[in-house]
Protein backbone atom coordinates (compact mmCIF):
# COMPACT_ATOMS: atom_id res chain seq x y z
CA UNK A 1 0.00 0.00 0.00
CA UNK A 2 1.43 3.36 -1.04
CA UNK A 3 2.03 6.11 1.51
CA UNK A 4 1.33 9.72 0.55
CA UNK A 5 2.41 12.88 2.32
CA UNK A 6 -0.37 15.35 3.01
CA UNK A 7 0.04 18.81 4.44
CA UNK A 8 -3.09 19.86 6.30
CA UNK A 9 -3.60 23.62 6.60
CA UNK A 10 -6.87 24.08 8.50
CA UNK A 11 -6.58 27.89 8.64
CA UNK A 12 -9.29 30.05 10.20
CA UNK A 13 -13.00 30.13 10.98
CA UNK A 14 -14.72 26.85 10.17
CA UNK A 15 -11.51 25.54 8.51
CA UNK A 16 -10.29 23.66 11.61
CA UNK A 17 -13.77 22.19 12.24
CA UNK A 18 -14.11 20.66 8.79
CA UNK A 19 -10.43 19.64 8.79
CA UNK A 20 -11.07 17.30 11.75
CA UNK A 21 -13.65 15.41 9.69
CA UNK A 22 -11.46 15.05 6.62
CA UNK A 23 -8.67 13.63 8.76
CA UNK A 24 -11.00 10.82 9.82
CA UNK A 25 -11.70 9.99 6.18
CA UNK A 26 -7.98 10.00 5.32
CA UNK A 27 -7.27 7.70 8.26
CA UNK A 28 -10.02 5.36 7.14
CA UNK A 29 -8.32 4.95 3.73
CA UNK A 30 -5.34 3.47 5.57
CA UNK A 31 -7.47 1.14 7.69
CA UNK A 32 -9.30 -0.06 4.58
CA UNK A 33 -5.97 -0.84 2.89
CA UNK A 34 -6.59 1.63 0.07
CA UNK A 35 -3.67 4.01 0.70
CA UNK A 36 -2.03 5.40 3.77
CA UNK A 37 -1.66 9.09 4.39
CA UNK A 38 1.02 10.70 6.50
CA UNK A 39 -0.48 13.97 7.68
CA UNK A 40 1.57 16.97 8.70
CA UNK A 41 -0.03 20.15 9.98
CA UNK A 42 0.82 23.75 9.23
CA UNK A 43 -0.50 27.24 9.77
CA UNK A 44 -1.98 29.56 7.19
CA UNK A 45 -4.07 32.73 7.27
CA UNK A 46 -5.00 34.69 10.36
CA UNK A 47 -3.79 32.03 12.76
CA UNK A 48 -0.38 32.08 11.06
CA UNK A 49 -0.31 35.87 11.36
CA UNK A 50 -1.17 35.67 15.07
CA UNK A 51 1.57 33.07 15.59
CA UNK A 52 4.45 34.45 13.54
CA UNK A 53 3.34 37.68 11.88
CA UNK A 54 3.07 36.19 8.37
CA UNK A 55 0.12 34.68 6.52
CA UNK A 56 2.31 31.63 5.90
CA UNK A 57 5.87 31.13 7.13
CA UNK A 58 8.83 30.04 5.01
CA UNK A 59 8.97 26.76 6.98
CA UNK A 60 5.35 25.95 6.22
CA UNK A 61 5.81 26.96 2.56
CA UNK A 62 8.59 24.41 2.45
CA UNK A 63 6.28 21.76 3.90
CA UNK A 64 3.81 22.61 1.12
CA UNK A 65 6.52 22.22 -1.54
CA UNK A 66 7.53 18.84 -0.12
CA UNK A 67 4.02 17.40 0.30
CA UNK A 68 2.35 15.16 -2.28
CA UNK A 69 -0.75 17.29 -1.80
CA UNK A 70 -1.95 20.15 0.39
CA UNK A 71 -5.36 20.04 2.07
CA UNK A 72 -6.51 23.56 2.79
CA UNK A 73 -9.42 24.63 5.02
CA UNK A 74 -10.24 28.35 4.82
CA UNK A 75 -8.68 31.69 5.74
CA UNK A 76 -9.75 35.10 6.95
CA UNK A 77 -12.25 36.77 9.21
CA UNK A 78 -13.14 40.16 10.70
CA UNK A 79 -10.49 39.72 13.40
CA UNK A 80 -7.82 40.43 10.76
CA UNK A 81 -9.59 43.22 8.87
CA UNK A 82 -7.00 45.77 9.97
CA UNK A 83 -3.78 43.79 9.41
CA UNK A 84 -1.40 45.12 6.72
CA UNK A 85 -2.43 44.14 3.17
CA UNK A 86 0.70 42.07 2.50
CA UNK A 87 0.16 39.80 5.48
CA UNK A 88 -3.64 39.59 5.38
CA UNK A 89 -4.92 35.99 5.72
CA UNK A 90 -5.80 35.65 2.01
CA UNK A 91 -2.18 36.43 1.08
CA UNK A 92 -1.19 33.01 2.44
CA UNK A 93 -3.55 31.24 0.06
CA UNK A 94 -2.49 33.39 -2.90
CA UNK A 95 1.17 32.69 -2.17
CA UNK A 96 0.54 28.95 -2.07
CA UNK A 97 -1.23 29.12 -5.44
CA UNK A 98 1.49 31.29 -7.00
CA UNK A 99 4.61 29.63 -5.56
CA UNK A 100 3.38 26.09 -6.23
CA UNK A 101 2.24 27.28 -9.71
CA UNK A 102 -1.24 25.85 -9.28
CA UNK A 103 -2.64 27.40 -12.44
CA UNK A 104 -5.63 25.09 -12.92
CA UNK A 105 -8.50 25.36 -10.49
CA UNK A 106 -11.18 22.70 -10.96
CA UNK A 107 -14.52 23.51 -9.35
CA UNK A 108 -17.13 20.86 -10.03
CA UNK A 109 -20.73 21.85 -9.30
CA UNK A 110 -22.85 18.77 -8.83
CA UNK A 111 -26.41 18.93 -7.61
CA UNK A 112 -27.32 15.78 -5.75
CA UNK A 113 -31.02 15.05 -6.41
CA UNK A 114 -31.61 14.88 -2.64
CA UNK A 115 -30.49 18.49 -2.38
CA UNK A 116 -32.37 19.99 -5.32
CA UNK A 117 -34.81 21.61 -2.91
CA UNK A 118 -32.05 23.28 -0.90
CA UNK A 119 -31.11 25.41 -3.93
CA UNK A 120 -32.73 28.80 -4.30
CA UNK A 121 -33.55 27.78 -7.88
CA UNK A 122 -36.38 25.49 -9.00
CA UNK A 123 -35.78 21.75 -8.78
CA UNK A 124 -36.08 21.14 -12.55
CA UNK A 125 -33.36 23.71 -13.21
CA UNK A 126 -30.72 22.22 -10.90
CA UNK A 127 -31.58 18.55 -10.36
CA UNK A 128 -28.76 16.26 -11.62
CA UNK A 129 -26.65 19.24 -12.65
CA UNK A 130 -23.02 18.27 -13.27
CA UNK A 131 -20.74 21.01 -14.55
CA UNK A 132 -17.04 21.72 -14.15
CA UNK A 133 -15.67 25.23 -13.86
CA UNK A 134 -12.02 25.46 -14.84
CA UNK A 135 -10.65 28.68 -13.42
CA UNK A 136 -7.23 30.07 -14.30
CA UNK A 137 -5.60 30.57 -10.90
CA UNK A 138 -2.14 32.12 -11.09
CA UNK A 139 -2.62 35.03 -13.48
CA UNK A 140 -4.98 37.83 -14.41
CA UNK A 141 -5.96 40.67 -12.16
CA UNK A 142 -5.09 38.73 -9.00
CA UNK A 143 -1.38 38.94 -9.71
CA UNK A 144 -0.89 41.48 -12.52
CA UNK A 145 1.48 44.42 -11.94
CA UNK A 146 1.21 47.30 -11.27
CA UNK A 147 -1.11 46.68 -8.34
CA UNK A 148 -1.14 49.69 -6.09
CA UNK A 149 -2.84 52.75 -4.70
CA UNK A 150 -1.06 55.96 -5.63
CA UNK A 151 -1.54 59.41 -4.16
CA UNK A 152 -2.25 61.90 -6.92
CA UNK A 153 -1.34 64.78 -4.61
CA UNK A 154 -4.56 66.71 -5.24
CA UNK A 155 -6.61 65.07 -2.54
CA UNK A 156 -7.30 62.19 -4.89
CA UNK A 157 -5.90 58.69 -4.90
CA UNK A 158 -5.84 56.13 -7.72
CA UNK A 159 -6.32 52.38 -7.22
CA UNK A 160 -4.76 50.19 -9.89
CA UNK A 161 -5.04 46.49 -10.64
CA UNK A 162 -3.73 44.98 -13.84
CA UNK A 163 -5.46 42.30 -15.87
CA UNK A 164 -2.77 40.55 -17.88
CA UNK A 165 -2.57 37.21 -19.71
CA UNK A 166 0.14 35.75 -21.92
CA UNK A 167 -0.54 33.21 -24.66
CA UNK A 168 1.02 30.30 -22.77
CA UNK A 169 -1.18 30.91 -19.72
CA UNK A 170 -4.35 30.80 -21.81
CA UNK A 171 -3.18 27.75 -23.75
CA UNK A 172 -2.31 25.63 -20.73
CA UNK A 173 -5.63 26.32 -18.97
CA UNK A 174 -7.44 25.72 -22.27
CA UNK A 175 -5.75 22.32 -22.56
CA UNK A 176 -6.91 21.34 -19.08
CA UNK A 177 -10.49 22.25 -20.02
CA UNK A 178 -10.47 20.39 -23.36
CA UNK A 179 -8.89 17.28 -21.82
CA UNK A 180 -11.50 17.22 -19.06
CA UNK A 181 -14.32 17.72 -21.57
CA UNK A 182 -13.17 14.67 -23.53
CA UNK A 183 -13.73 12.54 -20.43
CA UNK A 184 -17.10 14.16 -19.76
CA UNK A 185 -19.70 15.43 -22.25
CA UNK A 186 -17.21 16.80 -24.76
CA UNK A 187 -18.22 20.45 -24.58
CA UNK A 188 -16.26 23.54 -23.49
CA UNK A 189 -17.68 27.01 -22.98
CA UNK A 190 -14.95 29.65 -22.87
CA UNK A 191 -15.78 32.93 -21.19
CA UNK A 192 -14.23 36.43 -21.18
CA UNK A 193 -15.20 40.05 -21.91
CA UNK A 194 -13.67 40.52 -25.37
CA UNK A 195 -16.18 43.32 -25.99
CA UNK A 196 -14.34 45.57 -23.50
CA UNK A 197 -11.03 43.92 -22.58
CA UNK A 198 -7.90 43.32 -24.67
CA UNK A 199 -7.03 40.34 -22.48
CA UNK A 200 -10.46 38.98 -23.44
CA UNK A 201 -9.72 39.41 -27.16
CA UNK A 202 -6.48 37.46 -26.75
CA UNK A 203 -8.17 34.82 -24.57
CA UNK A 204 -10.78 34.22 -27.25
CA UNK A 205 -8.17 34.04 -30.06
CA UNK A 206 -5.90 31.64 -28.21
CA UNK A 207 -8.70 29.27 -27.16
CA UNK A 208 -10.14 29.29 -30.69
CA UNK A 209 -6.75 28.49 -32.25
CA UNK A 210 -5.96 25.76 -29.71
CA UNK A 211 -9.34 24.18 -30.37
CA UNK A 212 -8.81 24.20 -34.13
CA UNK A 213 -5.27 22.84 -33.85
CA UNK A 214 -5.66 20.11 -31.22
CA UNK A 215 -9.23 19.68 -30.00
CA UNK A 216 -11.54 20.01 -32.99
CA UNK A 217 -13.45 16.90 -31.77
CA UNK A 218 -14.68 18.86 -28.73
CA UNK A 219 -17.62 21.26 -29.08
CA UNK A 220 -16.46 24.80 -28.27
CA UNK A 221 -18.68 27.78 -27.47
CA UNK A 222 -17.77 31.29 -26.38
CA UNK A 223 -19.90 33.37 -24.04
CA UNK A 224 -19.27 36.82 -22.62
CA UNK A 225 -18.81 36.54 -18.87
CA UNK A 226 -21.84 38.64 -17.94
CA UNK A 227 -24.06 36.62 -20.24
CA UNK A 228 -22.62 33.39 -18.88
CA UNK A 229 -23.53 34.50 -15.37
CA UNK A 230 -27.11 34.98 -16.55
CA UNK A 231 -27.18 31.63 -18.37
CA UNK A 232 -25.82 29.87 -15.27
CA UNK A 233 -28.92 30.75 -13.32
CA UNK A 234 -31.30 30.51 -16.30
CA UNK A 235 -30.45 27.02 -17.61
CA UNK A 236 -27.20 25.68 -16.12
CA UNK A 237 -27.57 22.21 -17.63
CA UNK A 238 -26.53 23.59 -21.04
CA UNK A 239 -22.92 23.61 -19.74
CA UNK A 240 -20.35 20.86 -19.38
CA UNK A 241 -16.92 22.44 -18.86
CA UNK A 242 -16.59 26.21 -18.44
CA UNK A 243 -13.12 27.73 -18.80
CA UNK A 244 -12.47 31.28 -17.69
CA UNK A 245 -9.97 33.63 -16.08
CA UNK A 246 -9.09 34.08 -12.42
CA UNK A 247 -11.58 36.82 -11.49
CA UNK A 248 -14.55 35.68 -13.59
CA UNK A 249 -13.90 32.15 -12.34
CA UNK A 250 -14.01 33.35 -8.75
CA UNK A 251 -17.40 34.98 -9.25
CA UNK A 252 -18.98 32.36 -11.47
CA UNK A 253 -17.99 29.51 -9.18
CA UNK A 254 -19.77 31.14 -6.25
CA UNK A 255 -22.88 31.40 -8.44
CA UNK A 256 -22.49 27.76 -9.46
CA UNK A 257 -22.20 26.80 -5.81
CA UNK A 258 -25.70 27.99 -5.10
CA UNK A 259 -27.03 25.81 -7.91
CA UNK A 260 -25.90 22.82 -5.87
CA UNK A 261 -27.81 23.89 -2.78
CA UNK A 262 -25.06 25.49 -0.73
CA UNK A 263 -21.55 26.86 -0.81
CA UNK A 264 -20.90 24.16 1.78
CA UNK A 265 -21.11 21.51 -0.94
CA UNK A 266 -18.41 22.61 -3.37
CA UNK A 267 -14.95 21.01 -3.38
CA UNK A 268 -12.05 22.19 -5.52
CA UNK A 269 -8.67 21.11 -6.81
CA UNK A 270 -5.84 23.45 -7.73
CA UNK A 271 -3.30 21.72 -9.92
CA UNK A 272 0.12 22.46 -11.35
CA UNK A 273 1.75 21.06 -14.47
CA UNK A 274 2.59 17.34 -14.43
CA UNK A 275 6.32 16.75 -14.14
CA UNK A 276 7.14 14.57 -17.17
CA UNK A 277 9.94 12.79 -15.26
CA UNK A 278 8.07 11.86 -12.07
CA UNK A 279 4.50 11.95 -13.40
CA UNK A 280 3.64 13.96 -10.28
CA UNK A 281 2.07 17.39 -10.04
CA UNK A 282 1.79 19.91 -7.24
CA UNK A 283 -1.73 20.17 -5.92
CA UNK A 284 -3.85 21.87 -3.30
CA UNK A 285 -7.39 20.84 -2.42
CA UNK A 286 -9.82 23.20 -0.72
CA UNK A 287 -13.52 23.69 -0.21
CA UNK A 288 -14.86 26.69 -2.14
CA UNK A 289 -16.65 28.05 0.94
CA UNK A 290 -14.66 30.52 2.96
CA UNK A 291 -13.99 30.69 6.68
CA UNK A 292 -17.65 31.59 7.46
CA UNK A 293 -16.79 33.56 10.62
CA UNK A 294 -20.49 33.96 11.44
CA UNK A 295 -20.86 30.25 12.19
CA UNK A 296 -17.29 29.41 13.24
CA UNK A 297 -16.94 27.61 16.55
CA UNK A 298 -20.59 26.53 16.61
CA UNK A 299 -19.96 23.04 15.25
CA UNK A 300 -22.61 23.43 12.56
CA UNK A 301 -20.47 23.87 9.42
CA UNK A 302 -20.99 21.45 6.56
CA UNK A 303 -17.89 19.22 6.14
CA UNK A 304 -19.00 17.85 2.74
CA UNK A 305 -17.02 20.33 0.59
CA UNK A 306 -13.86 19.53 2.57
CA UNK A 307 -14.39 15.78 2.39
CA UNK A 308 -15.24 16.12 -1.30
CA UNK A 309 -11.97 18.01 -1.78
CA UNK A 310 -10.10 15.05 -0.31
CA UNK A 311 -12.03 12.88 -2.78
CA UNK A 312 -10.63 15.07 -5.56
CA UNK A 313 -7.13 14.54 -4.11
CA UNK A 314 -7.65 10.79 -4.36
CA UNK A 315 -8.62 11.18 -8.00
CA UNK A 316 -6.26 13.86 -9.27
CA UNK A 317 -3.13 13.37 -7.12
CA UNK A 318 -3.08 9.70 -6.24
CA UNK A 319 -4.76 7.93 -9.14
CA UNK A 320 -7.32 6.43 -6.74
CA UNK A 321 -10.42 6.97 -8.85
CA UNK A 322 -12.31 4.06 -7.29
CA UNK A 323 -11.69 5.40 -3.76
CA UNK A 324 -12.82 8.84 -4.93
CA UNK A 325 -16.03 7.27 -6.26
CA UNK A 326 -16.49 5.66 -2.85
CA UNK A 327 -16.26 9.04 -1.12
CA UNK A 328 -18.81 10.53 -3.51
CA UNK A 329 -21.15 7.58 -3.02
CA UNK A 330 -20.89 7.90 0.76
CA UNK A 331 -21.77 11.60 0.58
CA UNK A 332 -24.68 10.84 -1.72
CA UNK A 333 -25.94 8.10 0.61
CA UNK A 334 -26.05 10.29 3.73
CA UNK A 335 -27.89 12.95 1.76
CA UNK A 336 -30.36 10.35 0.47
CA UNK A 337 -30.85 9.21 4.06
CA UNK A 338 -31.99 12.75 4.86
CA UNK A 339 -29.05 14.02 6.89
CA UNK A 340 -28.71 17.78 6.64
CA UNK A 341 -26.39 20.38 8.11
CA UNK A 342 -27.95 23.80 8.66
CA UNK A 343 -26.81 25.25 5.32
CA UNK A 344 -28.65 22.57 3.32
CA UNK A 345 -31.65 22.30 5.60
CA UNK A 346 -34.24 23.10 2.93
CA UNK A 347 -37.55 21.67 4.08
CA UNK A 348 -35.91 19.21 6.52
CA UNK A 349 -37.20 19.24 10.07
CA UNK A 350 -33.88 18.67 11.85
CA UNK A 351 -30.19 19.24 11.24
CA UNK A 352 -26.97 17.52 12.28
CA UNK A 353 -23.67 18.95 13.48
CA UNK A 354 -20.34 18.99 11.62
CA UNK A 355 -19.15 15.97 13.60
CA UNK A 356 -22.38 14.04 13.09
CA UNK A 357 -22.22 14.62 9.33
CA UNK A 358 -18.55 13.57 9.26
CA UNK A 359 -19.25 10.43 11.29
CA UNK A 360 -22.21 9.51 9.09
CA UNK A 361 -20.08 9.75 5.95
CA UNK A 362 -17.40 7.64 7.65
CA UNK A 363 -19.94 4.99 8.65
CA UNK A 364 -21.24 4.91 5.07
CA UNK A 365 -17.67 4.53 3.76
CA UNK A 366 -17.12 1.57 6.07
CA UNK A 367 -20.28 -0.04 4.72
CA UNK A 368 -19.34 0.56 1.10
CA UNK A 369 -15.65 -0.45 1.26
The answer to the question of residue 250 lying near Mg ion (CB under 5 A) is yes
The answer to whether the CB of 288 falls within 8 A of the CB of 266 is: yes
Q: Measured from the CB atom, is 286 or 328 closer to ligand IPM?
A: 286
Judged by CB under 6 A, the chain residues 335 through 364 that form the site for ligand IPM are: none
Compute how many residues bind Mg ion; rule: CB under 5 A.
1
At closest approach, how far in Å is the CB of 251 from Mg ion? 8
At closest approach, how far in Å is the CB of 113 from Mg ion? 26
Q: Measured from the CB atom, is 266 or 360 closer to Mg ion?
A: 266
Compute how many residues bind ligand IPM; rule: CB under 6 A.
5
Residue nearest to ligand IPM (CB): 90
Among Mg ion, ligand IPM, none, partner that 259 touches (CB below 5 to 8 angstroms by kind): none
Q: Measured from the CB atom, is 268 or 354 closer to ligand IPM?
A: 268
Catalytic residue among 112, 193, 215, 316: 193
Three-state SS string over the chain comes to CCEEEEEEEEECCCHHHHHHHHHHHHHHHHHCCCCEEEEEECCCCHHHHHHHCCCCCHHHHHHHHHCCEEEEEECCCHHHCCCCHHHCHHHHHHHHHHHCCCCEEEEEEECCHHHHHHCCCCHHHHCCCEEEEEEECCCHHHCCCCCEEEECCCCCEEEECCCCCCHHHHHHHHHHHHHHHHHCCCEEEEEECCCCCHHHHHHHHHHHHHHHHHCCCCEEEEEEHHHHHHHHHHCHHHCCEEEECHHHHHHHHHHHHHHCCCHHHCCCEEECCCCCCCCCCCEEECCCCCCCCCCCCCCCCCCHHHHHHHHHHHHHCCCCHHHHHHHHHHHHHHHHCCCCCHHHCCCCCCCCCHHHHHHHHHHHHHHHC
Q: Measured from the CB atom, is 192 or 250 closer to ligand IPM?
A: 250
At closest approach, how far in Å is the CB of 32 from ligand IPM? 31
At closest approach, how far in Å is the CB of 75 from ligand IPM? 6
At closest approach, how far in Å is the CB of 11 from ligand IPM? 10
Q: Measured from the CB atom, is 90 or 214 closer to ligand IPM?
A: 90
Catalytic residue among 79, 254, 329, 345: 254
Q: Measured from the CB atom, is 93 or 228 closer to ligand IPM?
A: 93
At closest approach, how far in Å is the CB of 363 from ligand IPM? 30
Assess whether 250 carries a catalytic annotation.
Answer: yes
Among Mg ion, ligand IPM, none, partner that 93 touches (CB below 5 to 8 angstroms by kind): ligand IPM
Report how far residue 82's alpha carbon sits from residue 200's, in angstroms, rounded to the nearest whole number: 34
Residue nearest to Mg ion (CB): 250
Report how far residue 258's alpha carbon sits from residue 246's, in angstroms, rounded to the nearest whole number: 19
Assess whether 117 carries a catalytic annotation.
Answer: no
Judged by CB under 6 A, the chain residues 228 through 287 that form the site for ligand IPM are: 250
Assess whether 226 carries a catalytic annotation.
Answer: yes
Assess whether 66 carries a catalytic annotation.
Answer: no
Name the residues that contact Mg ion, by CB under 5 A: 250
> Annotated catalytic sites, by residue?
142, 193, 226, 250, 254
Name the residues that contact ligand IPM, by CB under 6 A: 90, 93, 250, 288, 290
Amino acid sequence: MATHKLLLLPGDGIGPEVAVEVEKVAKFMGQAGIASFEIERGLVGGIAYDTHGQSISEDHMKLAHDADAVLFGAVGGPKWDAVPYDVRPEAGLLRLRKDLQLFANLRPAICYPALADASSLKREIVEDLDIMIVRELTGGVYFGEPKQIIDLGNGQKRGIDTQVYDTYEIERIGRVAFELARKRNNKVTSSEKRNVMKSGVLWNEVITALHKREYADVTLEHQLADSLGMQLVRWPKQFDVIVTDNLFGDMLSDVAAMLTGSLGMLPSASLGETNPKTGKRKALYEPVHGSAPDIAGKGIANPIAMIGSFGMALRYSFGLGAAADLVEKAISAVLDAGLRTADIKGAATSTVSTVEMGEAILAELKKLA
